Structure 1
């Protein structure tokens, strides 16, 4: 099983990198096409390393015309899971981790915080995880506006649904409900945004089909998000709008630091802390 997956790992890692390149180019294009004040933003790219094996690229843009902060990270890491991570995997039904805690993981993770409060923040990630005992895909994308527009929510969900419907008739309903549950902030009693889709532990037994679905989720992201940015980036906004944006970012930060599974996994397995915490907003407010 180990040898069988070597080429599949390479294909998955190459796909996540190609998606990263496409998104970075698109976001820099949004900066170039915007007529706002200041210089068009550009990504600062840094190589990341994991002490126990692997690394990736951290690409962060700060203070652009459109994006106040956006990060697009890609990584491929490997090694042995620590005791806490082994227990977490065992709790998820992965067998044999105590005997052989070897793992490999690759994926892309994106979070965008916008200059204009009318433009929604957004999160997207897709990933593949492998152990000698199991493999699976996970990911999704969710929209996080501080000032919601129903038509924007409908457009975003529609693109996610199209990606799901191309593969299974029940995927969208399942993965939308999963996102509503997963991106909920219990101590605030509310969702962190307006949802989208989320899935994890996806292993239908057909690696090619599951990989194709994960690719389509990634491909759906730009058509789901970019039109919303183009529609909202020129809208006038008030100090009250900015205040609402900063308060909403506080909610986002709370979720990512307290509940997000990817944040916990990245920190517990020794990945670059700056890359793991890239999702945090540049400014936030609590009332």
Structure 2
């Protein structure tokens, strides 16, 4: 993979820094729960379709008392899109050369009163340059206080930046995180944005604040709920809800498809799947 330019290097460094901050906070929560669980990191490399080195990443997974399974992945990859897939990517129909760096996180929680969560932010370069991503809350048993807290924190991140539009990004998340064959939303939403291009500094600053907002609000929600009592029936509800989460990620999620189509690490791509799920 070619040498990174200043913008690419800055984005990569931030995503890796955010990974370290999030993982440290999640491990602290485990220690508060009396667990010594920690992230296990596995580095991986990929080769482009031509056989040339194509970058790679680090898959981080922790299985603990509070976080039944949480994955935090960072990757920086590049090369050329293979075949028709490139024509579906912003700016790649003219030239299949690409660069992508980002962080992707999914947490599935032991206590059904603690919401699962997804967060992903990324920077892509084709013939265009843009940021995308967002965060969304996925509670098996929704609690209005948590939903409101999550949305308020993301709205504050949006309101601090000119390129951000909370109402539009919230609607985008509602539209995207929807399971058509079930006719239900995957969770209680958040924000989703893509193809945020033009002013690199402004768009990068907003993307950083999305990561900071997640780091502020989600651990707070976890600590609020992680010691709540629960029943076997609520565990059954959690596991059935997880089945729907898995359906979305395997059938509709664009990030899953992007990873598989670009030769990413399969275990890292599919770390979003829950450790236990049920179907009727």
TM-score band, normalised by shorter chain:
over 0.9
Distance 1:72 1:182 in 2: 21
In the TM superposition, what are the counterparts of 1:159-198 in structure 2 within 5 Å?
159-168=153-162, 171-198=165-192
2:211 paired with 1:231: no
- Residue of structure 2 in register with 1:116 after alignment: 111
Aligned residue number for residue 284 of structure 1: 277
Give the aligned partner of residue 214 of structure 1.
207
Q: Contact between 1:85 and 1:269, CA under 8 Å: does it hold in 2?
A: no
1:1-287 alignment to 2 at 5 Å? 6-35=5-34, 39-52=35-48, 53-62=54-63, 64-89=64-89, 92=90, 94=91, 97-98=93-94, 100-131=95-126, 133-168=127-162, 171-203=165-197, 205-287=198-280
Task: State the aligned residue count.
Answer: 274
TM-score of the aligned structures, taking structure 1 as reference length: 0.93
The 3-state SS of whatever aligns with 1:113 is strand
Question: TM-score, structure 2 length as denominator?
Answer: 0.95
Tell me: CA distance 1:170–1:272, structure 2 relative to 1, closer, same or farther (3 Å).
Answer: closer
Does structure 2 retain, via aligned residues, the 8 Å contact 1:117–1:237?
A: yes
Shift of 1:168: 3.1
Deviations 1:18-39 (A, max 9, x none): 000000100000000114xxx4
2-side partners of 1:170 and 1:198: how far apart?
11
Distance in 1 separating the partners of 2:264 and 2:233: 38
Distance 2:113 2:164 in 1: 32
Distance 1:221 1:50 in 2: 29
Q: What are the Cα deviations for residues 23-80 of structure 1, in whole angstroms up to 9, with x where unaligned?
A: 0100000000114xxx421111000111220001100012x11100000000000010
| Cα distance in 2 for residues equivalent to 1:73 and 1:261 | 16
The alignment's C-alpha RMSD in Å is 1.5
Conserved in 1, the CA contact under 8 Å of 2:164 and 2:206? no
Please list every run of 5 or more consecutive structure 1 residues that lacks an aligned counterpart in the other structure: none
Q: CA deviation at 1:170?
A: 6.2
Instruction: Name segments (4+ residues, structure 1) moved above 6 Å.
Output: none
